[in-house]
A and B are shown apart, each in its own frame.
Chain A
Amino acid sequence: MAKQEYKHIEIADYPKTGFARFIQVMRRSLRVELFKGMGITFGVMIRTLFRGEMHTMQYPNEKLPVSARYRAIHKLLRFMESESERCIGCGLCEKICISKCIRMDTKLDENSRKVVPEYTINFGRCIFCGYCAEVCPELAIVHGDRYENVSEQRAHFSLKDDMLTPLDRLKEQKEFPGFGAVNPEADKMIKKTPLAY
Protein backbone atom coordinates (compact mmCIF):
# COMPACT_ATOMS: atom_id res chain seq x y z
CA MET A 1 0.00 0.00 0.00
CA ALA A 2 1.20 3.47 -0.81
CA LYS A 3 2.53 5.64 1.93
CA GLN A 4 -0.25 7.68 3.45
CA GLU A 5 -0.15 11.45 3.52
CA TYR A 6 -0.66 12.77 7.02
CA LYS A 7 -0.91 16.40 7.94
CA HIS A 8 0.92 17.50 11.02
CA ILE A 9 -1.10 20.09 12.86
CA GLU A 10 0.97 22.81 14.47
CA ILE A 11 -0.51 23.79 17.79
CA ALA A 12 1.06 27.00 18.97
CA ASP A 13 1.49 27.83 22.65
CA TYR A 14 -1.08 29.97 24.37
CA PRO A 15 -0.16 33.66 24.17
CA LYS A 16 1.36 34.90 27.40
CA THR A 17 1.24 38.67 27.31
CA GLY A 18 -1.79 40.84 26.72
CA PHE A 19 -0.36 42.15 23.48
CA ALA A 20 0.23 38.62 22.20
CA ARG A 21 -3.37 37.79 22.99
CA PHE A 22 -4.49 40.86 21.08
CA ILE A 23 -2.37 39.80 18.10
CA GLN A 24 -3.95 36.34 18.23
CA VAL A 25 -7.47 37.77 18.27
CA MET A 26 -6.67 40.06 15.37
CA ARG A 27 -5.05 37.31 13.34
CA ARG A 28 -8.00 34.99 13.86
CA SER A 29 -10.50 37.74 13.04
CA LEU A 30 -8.74 38.89 9.90
CA ARG A 31 -8.33 35.36 8.60
CA VAL A 32 -12.13 35.04 9.03
CA GLU A 33 -11.76 31.54 10.44
CA LEU A 34 -15.34 31.50 11.64
CA PHE A 35 -16.61 31.99 8.11
CA LYS A 36 -14.41 29.20 6.80
CA GLY A 37 -16.24 26.97 9.29
CA MET A 38 -19.56 28.12 7.86
CA GLY A 39 -18.26 27.26 4.40
CA ILE A 40 -17.57 23.73 5.58
CA THR A 41 -21.05 23.16 7.00
CA PHE A 42 -22.63 24.63 3.87
CA GLY A 43 -20.56 22.26 1.75
CA VAL A 44 -21.68 19.36 3.90
CA MET A 45 -25.31 20.38 3.42
CA ILE A 46 -24.93 20.59 -0.36
CA ARG A 47 -23.17 17.22 -0.54
CA THR A 48 -25.78 15.67 1.77
CA LEU A 49 -28.66 16.91 -0.33
CA PHE A 50 -27.32 16.48 -3.84
CA ARG A 51 -24.38 14.08 -3.78
CA GLY A 52 -25.86 11.32 -1.64
CA GLU A 53 -23.68 11.67 1.45
CA MET A 54 -26.63 11.19 3.78
CA HIS A 55 -25.56 9.00 6.65
CA THR A 56 -28.99 8.12 8.00
CA MET A 57 -30.42 4.70 7.18
CA GLN A 58 -34.20 4.98 7.43
CA TYR A 59 -34.35 1.75 9.34
CA PRO A 60 -37.71 0.07 8.97
CA ASN A 61 -37.86 1.09 5.30
CA GLU A 62 -34.28 0.36 4.34
CA LYS A 63 -31.86 -2.03 5.96
CA LEU A 64 -28.17 -2.67 5.80
CA PRO A 65 -27.25 -6.00 4.20
CA VAL A 66 -26.48 -8.59 6.82
CA SER A 67 -23.21 -10.44 6.67
CA ALA A 68 -23.39 -14.07 5.61
CA ARG A 69 -21.62 -14.91 8.85
CA TYR A 70 -24.35 -13.34 10.94
CA ARG A 71 -26.20 -15.87 13.04
CA ALA A 72 -29.85 -14.88 13.23
CA ILE A 73 -33.03 -16.98 13.31
CA HIS A 74 -32.55 -20.34 11.58
CA LYS A 75 -33.98 -21.30 8.21
CA LEU A 76 -34.73 -24.71 6.77
CA LEU A 77 -33.93 -24.72 3.06
CA ARG A 78 -35.44 -26.65 0.15
CA PHE A 79 -33.93 -27.95 -3.05
CA MET A 80 -34.49 -25.42 -5.80
CA GLU A 81 -35.28 -28.02 -8.50
CA SER A 82 -37.26 -30.76 -6.79
CA GLU A 83 -38.79 -28.42 -4.22
CA SER A 84 -38.39 -31.13 -1.59
CA GLU A 85 -36.87 -30.49 1.80
CA ARG A 86 -33.15 -30.80 2.17
CA CYS A 87 -33.32 -32.17 5.69
CA ILE A 88 -32.64 -35.91 5.69
CA GLY A 89 -33.44 -36.34 9.36
CA CYS A 90 -29.95 -37.47 10.33
CA GLY A 91 -30.28 -35.79 13.73
CA LEU A 92 -26.73 -34.42 13.83
CA CYS A 93 -27.94 -30.94 14.72
CA GLU A 94 -29.96 -32.34 17.58
CA LYS A 95 -26.90 -34.17 18.82
CA ILE A 96 -24.44 -31.31 18.55
CA CYS A 97 -26.68 -28.64 20.00
CA ILE A 98 -24.96 -27.59 23.20
CA SER A 99 -28.03 -26.02 24.76
CA LYS A 100 -30.20 -28.97 23.77
CA CYS A 101 -32.81 -26.80 22.18
CA ILE A 102 -33.40 -28.64 18.87
CA ARG A 103 -36.10 -31.29 18.81
CA MET A 104 -37.03 -33.30 15.74
CA ASP A 105 -39.34 -36.21 14.95
CA THR A 106 -38.49 -38.51 12.08
CA LYS A 107 -40.33 -41.35 10.40
CA LEU A 108 -40.24 -43.35 7.20
CA ASP A 109 -42.83 -42.37 4.64
CA GLU A 110 -44.56 -44.66 2.10
CA ASN A 111 -41.51 -44.58 -0.21
CA SER A 112 -39.26 -45.60 2.69
CA ARG A 113 -37.66 -42.18 2.67
CA LYS A 114 -36.89 -40.59 5.98
CA VAL A 115 -38.97 -37.49 6.56
CA VAL A 116 -39.11 -34.95 9.35
CA PRO A 117 -42.69 -34.18 10.36
CA GLU A 118 -41.68 -31.99 13.30
CA TYR A 119 -38.64 -29.77 13.75
CA THR A 120 -38.55 -27.11 16.44
CA ILE A 121 -35.89 -24.95 18.01
CA ASN A 122 -36.50 -23.49 21.44
CA PHE A 123 -35.26 -19.94 20.92
CA GLY A 124 -35.55 -19.27 24.62
CA ARG A 125 -32.56 -21.53 25.05
CA CYS A 126 -30.74 -21.27 21.74
CA ILE A 127 -27.46 -19.43 22.09
CA PHE A 128 -27.03 -18.99 18.32
CA CYS A 129 -23.65 -20.73 18.35
CA GLY A 130 -24.12 -21.94 14.79
CA TYR A 131 -23.02 -25.54 15.43
CA CYS A 132 -26.22 -26.97 13.96
CA ALA A 133 -25.66 -25.14 10.68
CA GLU A 134 -22.01 -26.08 10.67
CA VAL A 135 -22.63 -29.76 11.25
CA CYS A 136 -25.50 -30.13 8.78
CA PRO A 137 -24.27 -32.32 5.91
CA GLU A 138 -26.97 -31.14 3.50
CA LEU A 139 -26.89 -27.35 4.17
CA ALA A 140 -30.50 -27.86 5.23
CA ILE A 141 -30.48 -25.80 8.41
CA VAL A 142 -28.70 -22.49 8.10
CA HIS A 143 -28.75 -19.18 9.88
CA GLY A 144 -30.88 -16.61 8.10
CA ASP A 145 -30.82 -12.82 8.21
CA ARG A 146 -33.99 -12.39 10.24
CA TYR A 147 -32.68 -10.47 13.23
CA GLU A 148 -35.95 -8.73 14.15
CA ASN A 149 -37.18 -11.48 16.43
CA VAL A 150 -39.78 -9.68 18.47
CA SER A 151 -43.02 -11.51 18.97
CA GLU A 152 -45.79 -12.13 21.40
CA GLN A 153 -44.87 -15.72 22.09
CA ARG A 154 -41.64 -17.54 22.50
CA ALA A 155 -42.79 -20.29 20.18
CA HIS A 156 -42.98 -17.96 17.19
CA PHE A 157 -40.34 -18.36 14.44
CA SER A 158 -39.40 -21.70 15.87
CA LEU A 159 -41.82 -24.20 14.38
CA LYS A 160 -40.99 -26.04 11.24
CA ASP A 161 -43.53 -24.09 9.20
CA ASP A 162 -41.94 -20.84 10.28
CA MET A 163 -38.44 -21.84 9.34
CA LEU A 164 -39.02 -23.88 6.17
CA THR A 165 -38.91 -21.93 2.92
CA PRO A 166 -42.53 -21.74 1.69
CA LEU A 167 -43.09 -23.25 -1.74
CA ASP A 168 -44.37 -20.03 -3.28
CA ARG A 169 -41.30 -18.10 -2.17
CA LEU A 170 -38.79 -20.69 -3.29
CA LYS A 171 -37.48 -18.33 -5.97
CA GLU A 172 -36.35 -15.91 -3.29
CA GLN A 173 -34.39 -18.57 -1.42
CA LYS A 174 -30.69 -17.76 -1.49
CA GLU A 175 -27.99 -20.35 -1.33
CA PHE A 176 -26.12 -20.25 1.94
CA PRO A 177 -22.61 -19.07 1.04
CA GLY A 178 -21.12 -21.03 3.87
CA PHE A 179 -19.22 -20.18 6.98
CA GLY A 180 -16.48 -17.65 6.50
CA ALA A 181 -18.23 -16.01 3.55
CA VAL A 182 -17.76 -12.27 3.36
CA ASN A 183 -20.41 -9.59 3.58
CA PRO A 184 -22.06 -8.88 0.22
CA GLU A 185 -21.09 -5.21 0.68
CA ALA A 186 -17.57 -6.08 1.75
CA ASP A 187 -15.83 -4.37 -1.16
CA LYS A 188 -17.53 -1.07 -0.39
CA MET A 189 -16.77 -1.25 3.29
CA ILE A 190 -13.03 -1.76 2.96
CA LYS A 191 -11.00 1.13 4.32
CA LYS A 192 -7.30 1.48 4.02
CA THR A 193 -5.44 0.65 7.17
CA PRO A 194 -2.98 3.39 7.95
CA LEU A 195 0.36 1.62 7.98
CA ALA A 196 2.77 4.52 7.84
CA TYR A 197 2.73 6.75 10.87
Chain B
Amino acid sequence: MSDTTFFVIETIVKSLIIVAVFSALAGFGTYFERKVMAFMQRRYGPMLVGPQGVLQVLADGIKLFTKEDIVPANSVPLIFKIAPVITASTAFIAMAAVPFFPSFEIMGHTVSPIVADINIGILFVLGAMAVGLYGPLLGGMASNNKWSILGAARTVVQFLSFEVITGLSLLAPIMMIGSLSLIDINNYQTEGGVAGWLIWTQPVAFFLFMIAAFAETNRTPFDLLEHEAEVVAGFATEYSGMRWGMFFIGEYANLFTVAFLVSLVFLGGFNDLGFIPGALAILLKVAFFFFVFLWVRSTWPHIRPDQLMWLCWKVLMPIAIINLLITGIVILA
Protein backbone atom coordinates (compact mmCIF):
# COMPACT_ATOMS: atom_id res chain seq x y z
CA MET B 1 0.00 0.00 0.00
CA SER B 2 1.43 3.33 -0.97
CA ASP B 3 1.75 6.12 1.55
CA THR B 4 -0.91 8.24 -0.12
CA THR B 5 -3.61 5.59 -0.10
CA PHE B 6 -2.70 4.73 3.48
CA PHE B 7 -2.99 8.40 4.42
CA VAL B 8 -6.41 8.73 2.80
CA ILE B 9 -7.74 5.55 4.38
CA GLU B 10 -6.18 6.48 7.72
CA THR B 11 -7.80 9.92 7.75
CA ILE B 12 -11.23 8.58 6.83
CA VAL B 13 -11.02 5.87 9.48
CA LYS B 14 -9.88 8.39 12.10
CA SER B 15 -12.75 10.75 11.28
CA LEU B 16 -15.29 7.95 11.46
CA ILE B 17 -13.89 6.72 14.75
CA ILE B 18 -13.97 10.20 16.26
CA VAL B 19 -17.57 10.82 15.19
CA ALA B 20 -18.72 7.38 16.33
CA VAL B 21 -16.87 7.35 19.64
CA PHE B 22 -17.74 10.87 20.67
CA SER B 23 -21.40 10.61 19.66
CA ALA B 24 -21.61 7.52 21.86
CA LEU B 25 -19.64 9.22 24.63
CA ALA B 26 -22.01 12.17 24.48
CA GLY B 27 -24.84 9.75 25.17
CA PHE B 28 -23.00 8.11 28.02
CA GLY B 29 -22.03 11.56 29.23
CA THR B 30 -25.69 12.23 29.97
CA TYR B 31 -25.86 8.95 31.88
CA PHE B 32 -22.80 9.78 33.98
CA GLU B 33 -24.06 13.28 34.56
CA ARG B 34 -27.39 12.03 35.83
CA LYS B 35 -25.73 9.41 38.02
CA VAL B 36 -23.09 11.68 39.56
CA MET B 37 -25.57 14.46 40.20
CA ALA B 38 -28.00 11.97 41.70
CA PHE B 39 -25.38 10.63 44.10
CA MET B 40 -24.47 14.14 45.16
CA GLN B 41 -28.14 14.73 45.94
CA ARG B 42 -28.61 11.40 47.75
CA ARG B 43 -30.63 9.84 44.91
CA TYR B 44 -30.11 6.80 42.69
CA GLY B 45 -30.54 8.41 39.28
CA PRO B 46 -31.64 6.19 36.39
CA MET B 47 -32.06 2.65 37.73
CA LEU B 48 -34.70 0.81 35.73
CA VAL B 49 -33.42 0.39 32.14
CA GLY B 50 -30.66 -2.21 32.27
CA PRO B 51 -28.44 -2.96 35.26
CA GLN B 52 -27.99 0.24 37.28
CA GLY B 53 -29.76 2.04 34.43
CA VAL B 54 -26.89 1.88 31.93
CA LEU B 55 -29.24 1.32 29.02
CA GLN B 56 -31.10 4.53 29.82
CA VAL B 57 -29.05 6.10 27.00
CA LEU B 58 -30.63 3.67 24.57
CA ALA B 59 -34.12 4.46 25.79
CA ASP B 60 -33.41 8.18 25.54
CA GLY B 61 -32.04 7.69 22.03
CA ILE B 62 -35.13 5.80 20.87
CA LYS B 63 -37.30 8.50 22.35
CA LEU B 64 -35.31 11.30 20.69
CA PHE B 65 -35.28 9.62 17.29
CA THR B 66 -38.98 8.78 17.23
CA LYS B 67 -40.26 12.06 18.61
CA GLU B 68 -42.32 14.26 16.33
CA ASP B 69 -40.23 16.83 14.50
CA ILE B 70 -41.87 20.20 15.08
CA VAL B 71 -40.97 23.40 13.27
CA PRO B 72 -42.94 26.17 14.99
CA ALA B 73 -45.18 28.52 13.05
CA ASN B 74 -43.69 31.86 11.95
CA SER B 75 -40.17 30.60 12.51
CA VAL B 76 -37.52 30.72 9.81
CA PRO B 77 -37.57 27.04 8.88
CA LEU B 78 -34.26 26.81 7.05
CA ILE B 79 -32.20 28.48 9.78
CA PHE B 80 -34.20 26.70 12.47
CA LYS B 81 -33.24 23.38 10.90
CA ILE B 82 -29.60 24.28 10.24
CA ALA B 83 -28.79 25.64 13.73
CA PRO B 84 -28.42 22.28 15.56
CA VAL B 85 -26.27 20.96 12.73
CA ILE B 86 -23.91 23.90 13.22
CA THR B 87 -23.46 23.13 16.91
CA ALA B 88 -22.96 19.40 16.41
CA SER B 89 -20.69 19.64 13.38
CA THR B 90 -18.41 22.38 14.73
CA ALA B 91 -18.00 20.38 17.91
CA PHE B 92 -16.65 17.49 15.83
CA ILE B 93 -14.67 19.76 13.48
CA ALA B 94 -12.87 21.17 16.53
CA MET B 95 -11.68 17.66 17.38
CA ALA B 96 -9.78 17.42 14.09
CA ALA B 97 -6.75 19.18 15.56
CA VAL B 98 -6.79 17.47 18.94
CA PRO B 99 -4.26 14.65 19.44
CA PHE B 100 -6.10 12.13 21.59
CA PHE B 101 -3.38 9.52 22.20
CA PRO B 102 0.35 9.05 21.63
CA SER B 103 1.19 7.76 18.15
CA PHE B 104 1.55 4.03 17.54
CA GLU B 105 2.55 1.67 14.70
CA ILE B 106 0.21 -0.26 12.40
CA MET B 107 1.49 -2.32 9.44
CA GLY B 108 4.79 -0.48 9.34
CA HIS B 109 3.12 2.94 9.28
CA THR B 110 3.23 5.34 12.21
CA VAL B 111 -0.30 6.39 13.09
CA SER B 112 -0.79 9.47 15.20
CA PRO B 113 -4.34 9.71 16.57
CA ILE B 114 -4.96 13.22 15.27
CA VAL B 115 -6.88 13.90 12.08
CA ALA B 116 -4.81 16.91 11.02
CA ASP B 117 -1.67 18.07 12.81
CA ILE B 118 -1.92 21.67 11.66
CA ASN B 119 0.57 24.17 13.04
CA ILE B 120 -2.18 26.43 14.44
CA GLY B 121 -3.83 23.53 16.31
CA ILE B 122 -5.10 25.21 19.46
CA LEU B 123 -6.23 28.32 17.60
CA PHE B 124 -8.22 26.11 15.22
CA VAL B 125 -9.84 24.20 18.08
CA LEU B 126 -10.87 27.34 19.93
CA GLY B 127 -12.05 28.98 16.72
CA ALA B 128 -14.17 26.02 15.68
CA MET B 129 -15.69 25.74 19.14
CA ALA B 130 -16.50 29.46 19.10
CA VAL B 131 -18.23 29.10 15.71
CA GLY B 132 -20.41 26.48 17.42
CA LEU B 133 -22.11 29.31 19.29
CA TYR B 134 -23.77 30.29 16.01
CA GLY B 135 -26.02 27.29 16.66
CA PRO B 136 -27.71 28.67 19.79
CA LEU B 137 -27.65 32.19 18.35
CA LEU B 138 -29.32 31.35 15.03
CA GLY B 139 -31.58 28.72 16.55
CA GLY B 140 -32.78 31.14 19.20
CA MET B 141 -33.37 33.93 16.72
CA ALA B 142 -35.17 31.71 14.20
CA SER B 143 -37.53 30.10 16.71
CA ASN B 144 -40.09 32.93 16.95
CA ASN B 145 -40.16 32.61 20.72
CA LYS B 146 -39.31 35.22 23.30
CA TRP B 147 -37.43 32.80 25.56
CA SER B 148 -35.41 31.68 22.58
CA ILE B 149 -34.56 35.28 21.72
CA LEU B 150 -33.40 35.82 25.29
CA GLY B 151 -31.28 32.70 25.04
CA ALA B 152 -29.81 33.92 21.76
CA ALA B 153 -29.01 37.31 23.30
CA ARG B 154 -27.33 35.59 26.20
CA THR B 155 -25.29 33.55 23.74
CA VAL B 156 -23.79 36.79 22.47
CA VAL B 157 -23.18 38.03 26.01
CA GLN B 158 -21.46 34.81 26.92
CA PHE B 159 -19.42 34.72 23.74
CA LEU B 160 -18.23 38.30 24.23
CA SER B 161 -17.25 37.48 27.80
CA PHE B 162 -15.36 34.22 27.69
CA GLU B 163 -13.64 34.51 24.34
CA VAL B 164 -11.28 37.17 25.71
CA ILE B 165 -10.28 34.97 28.58
CA THR B 166 -9.66 31.79 26.57
CA GLY B 167 -7.37 33.62 24.19
CA LEU B 168 -5.46 35.67 26.75
CA SER B 169 -5.07 32.85 29.28
CA LEU B 170 -3.72 30.41 26.68
CA LEU B 171 -1.35 33.03 25.27
CA ALA B 172 0.96 32.78 28.29
CA PRO B 173 1.72 29.02 27.98
CA ILE B 174 1.92 29.42 24.19
CA MET B 175 4.56 32.14 24.64
CA MET B 176 6.61 29.73 26.71
CA ILE B 177 6.27 26.88 24.23
CA GLY B 178 6.54 28.90 21.03
CA SER B 179 4.08 26.75 19.07
CA LEU B 180 0.33 26.51 18.59
CA SER B 181 0.39 22.84 17.65
CA LEU B 182 -1.07 20.70 20.41
CA ILE B 183 1.52 18.00 19.73
CA ASP B 184 4.33 20.50 20.36
CA ILE B 185 2.57 21.66 23.51
CA ASN B 186 2.36 18.05 24.64
CA ASN B 187 6.01 17.32 23.82
CA TYR B 188 7.11 20.43 25.73
CA GLN B 189 5.95 18.71 28.95
CA THR B 190 7.73 15.39 28.34
CA GLU B 191 10.56 16.04 30.78
CA GLY B 192 10.26 15.58 34.51
CA GLY B 193 6.98 13.71 34.88
CA VAL B 194 4.42 15.53 37.03
CA ALA B 195 6.90 18.32 37.84
CA GLY B 196 7.17 19.12 34.15
CA TRP B 197 3.48 19.95 33.76
CA LEU B 198 2.64 23.47 32.71
CA ILE B 199 0.15 23.86 35.55
CA TRP B 200 3.08 24.46 37.94
CA THR B 201 4.56 27.27 35.84
CA GLN B 202 1.21 28.69 34.70
CA PRO B 203 -1.27 28.12 37.54
CA VAL B 204 -3.09 31.41 36.91
CA ALA B 205 -3.54 30.61 33.24
CA PHE B 206 -4.88 27.18 34.22
CA PHE B 207 -7.56 28.62 36.48
CA LEU B 208 -8.49 31.30 33.98
CA PHE B 209 -8.79 28.73 31.21
CA MET B 210 -10.90 26.44 33.41
CA ILE B 211 -13.30 29.29 34.15
CA ALA B 212 -13.47 30.19 30.47
CA ALA B 213 -13.99 26.52 29.62
CA PHE B 214 -17.10 26.41 31.78
CA ALA B 215 -18.46 29.38 29.88
CA GLU B 216 -17.39 28.00 26.51
CA THR B 217 -19.09 24.65 27.06
CA ASN B 218 -22.13 26.34 28.56
CA ARG B 219 -21.88 24.48 31.87
CA THR B 220 -23.44 25.35 35.15
CA PRO B 221 -21.96 28.37 36.76
CA PHE B 222 -22.37 29.99 33.34
CA ASP B 223 -25.26 28.07 31.77
CA LEU B 224 -27.08 31.25 30.87
CA LEU B 225 -28.18 30.10 27.43
CA GLU B 226 -30.70 27.58 28.59
CA HIS B 227 -31.13 28.10 32.28
CA GLU B 228 -34.54 26.61 32.80
CA ALA B 229 -35.33 28.54 35.96
CA GLU B 230 -35.09 31.83 34.12
CA VAL B 231 -35.68 31.43 30.39
CA VAL B 232 -37.55 28.06 30.19
CA ALA B 233 -34.94 26.36 28.02
CA GLY B 234 -33.39 29.42 26.39
CA PHE B 235 -32.46 28.88 22.78
CA ALA B 236 -33.67 25.26 22.93
CA THR B 237 -37.25 26.08 23.99
CA GLU B 238 -38.81 25.28 20.62
CA TYR B 239 -36.54 22.36 19.83
CA SER B 240 -37.52 18.76 20.35
CA GLY B 241 -36.55 15.32 19.20
CA MET B 242 -33.33 14.81 17.31
CA ARG B 243 -32.72 18.50 16.63
CA TRP B 244 -32.61 19.09 20.36
CA GLY B 245 -30.49 15.97 20.68
CA MET B 246 -27.96 17.35 18.23
CA PHE B 247 -27.53 20.49 20.32
CA PHE B 248 -26.69 18.29 23.25
CA ILE B 249 -24.42 15.93 21.36
CA GLY B 250 -22.55 19.08 20.38
CA GLU B 251 -22.47 20.33 23.95
CA TYR B 252 -21.12 17.07 25.36
CA ALA B 253 -18.62 16.71 22.50
CA ASN B 254 -17.38 20.21 23.37
CA LEU B 255 -17.11 19.10 26.97
CA PHE B 256 -14.78 16.28 25.97
CA THR B 257 -12.78 18.55 23.66
CA VAL B 258 -12.24 21.03 26.45
CA ALA B 259 -11.28 18.25 28.86
CA PHE B 260 -8.71 17.03 26.30
CA LEU B 261 -7.44 20.59 25.78
CA VAL B 262 -6.91 21.23 29.49
CA SER B 263 -5.20 17.87 29.92
CA LEU B 264 -2.95 18.50 26.92
CA VAL B 265 -1.99 22.08 27.65
CA PHE B 266 -1.69 22.11 31.42
CA LEU B 267 -1.54 18.54 32.72
CA GLY B 268 1.16 16.93 30.61
CA GLY B 269 -1.12 15.51 27.90
CA PHE B 270 -0.41 11.94 26.81
CA ASN B 271 3.11 11.68 28.19
CA ASP B 272 3.77 8.56 30.24
CA LEU B 273 3.05 9.12 33.89
CA GLY B 274 5.39 6.91 35.89
CA PHE B 275 4.18 3.36 35.29
CA ILE B 276 0.94 4.52 33.63
CA PRO B 277 1.18 4.52 29.81
CA GLY B 278 0.42 7.82 28.10
CA ALA B 279 -2.86 6.74 26.50
CA LEU B 280 -4.27 5.70 29.85
CA ALA B 281 -2.88 8.79 31.57
CA ILE B 282 -4.74 11.19 29.30
CA LEU B 283 -7.94 9.16 29.61
CA LEU B 284 -7.69 9.42 33.39
CA LYS B 285 -7.13 13.16 33.17
CA VAL B 286 -10.07 13.63 30.80
CA ALA B 287 -12.28 11.50 33.01
CA PHE B 288 -11.26 13.59 36.01
CA PHE B 289 -12.08 16.85 34.24
CA PHE B 290 -15.38 15.47 33.01
CA PHE B 291 -16.17 14.58 36.62
CA VAL B 292 -15.16 18.09 37.69
CA PHE B 293 -17.68 19.55 35.25
CA LEU B 294 -20.45 17.41 36.77
CA TRP B 295 -19.23 18.04 40.29
CA VAL B 296 -19.29 21.79 39.82
CA ARG B 297 -22.72 21.59 38.27
CA SER B 298 -24.16 19.87 41.29
CA THR B 299 -22.45 22.25 43.72
CA TRP B 300 -22.41 25.82 42.55
CA PRO B 301 -25.25 28.18 41.82
CA HIS B 302 -25.25 29.86 38.46
CA ILE B 303 -24.73 33.56 37.92
CA ARG B 304 -26.50 36.32 36.05
CA PRO B 305 -25.38 37.45 32.58
CA ASP B 306 -24.23 40.84 33.91
CA GLN B 307 -22.21 39.07 36.60
CA LEU B 308 -20.58 36.93 33.92
CA MET B 309 -19.59 40.03 31.96
CA TRP B 310 -18.38 41.71 35.18
CA LEU B 311 -16.33 38.64 36.06
CA CYS B 312 -14.79 38.22 32.64
CA TRP B 313 -14.07 41.83 31.72
CA LYS B 314 -13.33 43.43 35.08
CA VAL B 315 -11.68 40.59 37.00
CA LEU B 316 -10.38 37.85 34.76
CA MET B 317 -9.13 39.93 31.84
CA PRO B 318 -6.85 42.16 34.01
CA ILE B 319 -5.53 39.04 35.75
CA ALA B 320 -4.90 37.42 32.37
CA ILE B 321 -3.04 40.47 31.09
CA ILE B 322 -0.92 40.73 34.24
CA ASN B 323 -0.16 37.03 33.94
CA LEU B 324 0.83 37.59 30.32
CA LEU B 325 3.10 40.53 31.26
CA ILE B 326 4.86 38.62 34.03
CA THR B 327 5.32 35.60 31.75
CA GLY B 328 6.80 37.86 29.09
CA ILE B 329 9.17 39.53 31.56
CA VAL B 330 10.28 36.14 32.93
CA ILE B 331 10.89 34.78 29.41
CA LEU B 332 12.93 37.83 28.40
CA ALA B 333 14.89 38.03 31.65
CB-nearest residue of chain B to A39: B299
In the bound complex, CA of A41 to CA of B300 (Å): 10
Tell me, yes or no, whether A49 is within 8 Å of chain B by CB: yes
Contact of B40 with A45 in the complex, beta carbons under 8 Å: yes
Tell me, yes or no, whether A16 is within 8 Å of chain B by CB: no
Contact of A44 with B40 in the complex, beta carbons under 8 Å: yes
Contact of A54 with B42 in the complex, beta carbons under 8 Å: yes
Q: Which of B39, B296, B315 contacts A45 (CB 8 A)?
A: B39
Contact of B298 with A41 in the complex, beta carbons under 8 Å: yes
Q: Mark B295-320, 1 if CB is under 8 A from A, else 0.
A: 11011100000000000000100000
B40, B43, B47, B295 interface centre (most CB from chain A within 10 Å): B40
Contacts of A55 in B (CB 8 A): 42-43
Q: How many residues of B contact A (CB 8 A)?
A: 14
Contact of B299 with A53 in the complex, beta carbons under 8 Å: no
Secondary structure of the A contact surface, majority rule? helix
Tell me, yes or no, whether B55 is within 8 Å of chain A by CB: no
Tell me, yes or no, whether B6 is within 8 Å of chain A by CB: no
Contacts of B300 in A (CB 8 A): 34, 37-38
Contact of B296 with A38 in the complex, beta carbons under 8 Å: yes
Contact of B295 with A41 in the complex, beta carbons under 8 Å: yes
Rounded to whole Å, the gap between the CB of A14 and the closest CB of chain B is 15
Tell me, yes or no, whether A42 is within 8 Å of chain B by CB: yes
Rounded to whole Å, the gap between the CB of A34 and the closest CB of chain B is 6
In the bound complex, CA of A56 to CA of B296 (Å): 22
Q: Which of A42, A44, A58 contacts B47 (CB 8 A)?
A: A58
Contacts of A53 in B (CB 8 A): 42
Q: Which of A14-35 contact B (CB under 8 A)?
A: 25, 34
In the bound complex, CA of A37 to CA of B298 (Å): 10
Q: Mark A131-159, 1 if CB is under 8 A from B, else 0.
A: 00000000000000000000000000000
Rounded to whole Å, the gap between the CB of A63 and the closest CB of chain B is 16
Rounded to whole Å, the gap between the CB of B88 and the closest CB of chain A is 31
Q: Which of B42, B295, B299 contacts A56 (CB 8 A)?
A: B42
Contact of A41 with B299 in the complex, beta carbons under 8 Å: yes
Secondary structure of the B contact surface, majority rule? helix
Contact of A42 with B295 in the complex, beta carbons under 8 Å: yes
Q: Mark B35-50, 1 if CB is under 8 A from A, else 0.
A: 0100111111001000
Tell me, yes or no, whether A106 is within 8 Å of chain B by CB: no
Contacts of A99 in B (CB 8 A): none
Tell me, yes or no, whether A4 is within 8 Å of chain B by CB: no
Contacts of B41 in A (CB 8 A): 44
In the bound complex, CA of A58 to CA of B44 (Å): 9
Contact of A45 with B36 in the complex, beta carbons under 8 Å: yes
In the bound complex, CA of A55 to CA of B45 (Å): 12
Contact of B295 with A38 in the complex, beta carbons under 8 Å: yes
Contacts of A41 in B (CB 8 A): 40, 295, 298-299
Q: Which of A25, A40, A42, A56 contacts B43 (CB 8 A)?
A: A56
CB-nearest residue of chain A to B296: A38
Could you pull out 30 A-B pairs where Cβ atoms are within 8 angstroms?
Answer: A25-B315, A34-B299, A34-B300, A37-B300, A38-B295, A38-B296, A38-B299, A38-B300, A41-B40, A41-B295, A41-B298, A41-B299, A42-B40, A42-B295, A44-B40, A44-B42, A45-B39, A45-B40, A48-B39, A48-B40, A48-B42, A49-B39, A53-B42, A54-B42, A54-B43, A54-B44, A55-B43, A56-B43, A56-B44, A58-B44
For the complex with contacts A41-B299, A49-B39, A53-B42, 19 further pairs of A-B residues with Cβ separation under 8 Å are A34-B300, A37-B299, A37-B300, A38-B295, A38-B300, A40-B299, A41-B295, A41-B298, A42-B40, A44-B40, A44-B41, A45-B36, A45-B39, A45-B40, A54-B42, A54-B43, A55-B43, A56-B44, A58-B44
Task: Identify the 7 closest CB pairs spanning chains A and B, nearest first.
Answer: A55-B42, A41-B299, A45-B39, A41-B40, A45-B40, A56-B44, A38-B299
